[in-house]
Structure 1
Amino acid sequence: MSDYAKLKAFAGAASRGEWSTSHDTIFAIQEGQTKRLMETEEGSDIAWIEHRLNLRFIAAADPAVVLGLIAERSVALWQLDIQRDIAARRHEQIDQLKAEIERQAAQFKEWQAGHHANYVSMADERDALKAECEGLRRKVRIQQRLNESAESIRKDAGGQS
């Protein structure tokens, strides 16, 4: 049996009522009547005032007070267990969220790498098309000069005949 269980058993077996003290006597008020619980004597190893303070403490710690404190402790322990369960669930949720963030970060990195590869590929293709277009423009300019030269030669040849 734990100390609290012993204390609860003792408090349950003790006289009921609100305890008080007067001089060397401890009283209990039960069903509207004051009952003398015990008379004490001052110990030879303590001062009179210390004896009185001890009596006041004993009277203040009547069975109802002790049982109330034990009940409060039980409720506090129960609430503590609930808070621990809540904290454990929150830690699980945090771990799940961290794992999800890591998964999404990895997925984003893959997308980013693929996007970059596509961008580089498209940029290379763009540059190749620009070069091809420039080459075609040069050919068109050359063809235009050749056409102009041929036209000029025809005009000269037509005019000299």
Structure 2
Amino acid sequence: MSSIPDFAELLAGSVQSAVHLEMRDAYFTNPRFEAWANGEHVDWGDRASWWRLYHQNIAEAVARGVTVRRVRIVSEPVTDYIAWEHYQTRANVESGELVRWLPRHRAWDLLLPGTDLWIFDGRLMRVHHFSGDGEWISKALCDDPGVIGQHAAAFERVWERAIPHEQYEVK
């Protein structure tokens, strides 16, 4: 495929499901993470201060019947970045996303994809490529049913084993 639609377009085209698998313990530099690390916290009562276009896109998809699920596979003890992600996941949940966490030591016997990914309606997969230090490199799109089926099956195995966000405590 020559051009890759942006995330909002892929989500808008989804009718049943969008699943996201994250497997890194840290990602690229993020000003919101840096602010949190410096002691700044979200005013959850002021939705306008934390609600982003991403959350709106998720809320709209969920409102039209799309189930959006995310699993994060994490090392324990978690990195500061993952602790921040756990803290800010409230925004994902409030937008309608279902989020789970799987400690890496509980995933040792699962065959996992080599990179983070999104799968839309089980028919289209967007993979994300990062450098070793978590900087964004590129994304790719896959529409091969066999490849997507393998990754979707891996996601489901992770999802079944993972801990719901409201029950997972960062360690």
TM-score norm. by structure 2 comes to 0.19
Larger relative contact order (C-alpha < 8 A, sep ≥ 6)?
2
Q: Return the structure number with greater strand share.
A: 2
Q: Return the structure number with greater helix share.
A: 1
TM-score norm. by structure 1 comes to 0.20
